[in-house]
């Protein structure tokens, strides 16, 4: 199948009908007018996809990518702004910037530095979040979950502004959960570590619970 795919290189302000492609390289601005399936996508600039985007290998972004459908990729890497209307599926996410989706976000491993909004479930086997700005998810699940504020944001005083460098979630559930500067209704885990600046409604834990004296937990239950 891949042998029949054509590689595409687009420079400047361009457009494409999308479809089944090989390696895609965008330098500048490009709009794809239908579902797009490619082996790799490298974008330096701005890409818009009117439909779903599937990348068999790596999506590498330096700039901005907007997708009106869903994104499925082996790896998602880069810096900038990533907006996906219908959700994200992938193996690895290593991204610095802003991520926004109206759907779910399901990954094997996620390392995110910046800010995000996930309207549904954010699920990752291993999630490491370094917050530079406001972060929101309806639910967060995974094996290992670590949420921290950026040291750069701390030095610049960004966490003092309203809604900055803070996570808001209804439910957070994992095997090992470490949270800092987080507002959550319910937190569940085998081992739960609550760092500074958290406000948690209820914690349900099995093995270990540690709570920083600068955090607030209304209810603690050992299962």
pLDDT band at 70 (very low <50, low <70, confident <90, very high): very high
Q: Give the H/E segment covering residue 152.
A: helix 151-156
Query: pLDDT of 121-152, one tens digit each?
Result: 999 999 999 999 899 999 999 999 999 998 66
**Does residue 93 have a pLDDT over 90?**
yes
pLDDT band at 3 (very low <50, low <70, confident <90, very high): low
Bridge partners of 192? 177, 209
- The tokens describing 126, both together, are 């291993």
pLDDT at 2: 46
Rg (CA), the chain: 19
Least confident stretch, 96-100, 156-160, 204-208: 156-160
Of 83, 141, 150, the closest CA to residue 112 belongs to: 150
pLDDT at 150: 80
What distances in angstroms separate CA 145 from CA 21, 36, 104, 114, 123, one per listed residue?
36, 32, 17, 16, 10
| Share above pLDDT 70 across residues of the chain, in percent, rounded to a whole number | 93
Which carries the bigger pLDDT value, residue 197 or residue 1?
197
pLDDT band at 162 (very low <50, low <70, confident <90, very high): very low
Give 215-218's long-range contacts (Cβ < 8 A, gap of 24+): none
């Amino acid at each position: 199948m891949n042998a029949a795919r054509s590689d595409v290189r687009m420079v400047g302000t361009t457009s494409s009908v999308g479809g089944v492609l090989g390696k895609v390289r965008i330098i500048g601005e490009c709009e794809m007018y239908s579902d797009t399936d490619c082996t790799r996508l490298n974008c330096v600039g701005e890409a818009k996809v009117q439909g779903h985007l599937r990348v068999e290998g790596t999506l590498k972004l330096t700039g901005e990518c907007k997708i009106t459908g869903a994104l499925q990729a082996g790896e998602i890497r880069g810096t900038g702004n990533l907006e996906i209307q219908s959700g994200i599926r992938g193996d690895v996410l290593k991204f610095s910037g802003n991520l926004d989706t109206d759907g779910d976000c399901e990954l094997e491993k996620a390392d995110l530095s910046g800010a995000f909004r996930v309207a549904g479930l954010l699920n990752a086997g291993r999630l490491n979040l370094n917050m530079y700005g406001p972060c929101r998810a309806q639910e967060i699940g995974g094996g290992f979950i670590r949420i921290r504020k950026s040291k750069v944001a701390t030095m610049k005083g960004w966490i003092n502004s309203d809604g900055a460098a803070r996570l808001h979630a209804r439910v957070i559930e994992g095997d090992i959960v470490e949270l800092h500067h987080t507002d959550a209704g319910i937190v569940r885990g085998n081992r739960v570590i609550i760092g500074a600046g958290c406000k948690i409604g209820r914690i349900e834990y099995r093995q270990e619970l540690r709570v920083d004296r600068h955090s607030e937990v209304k209810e603690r239950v050992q299962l």
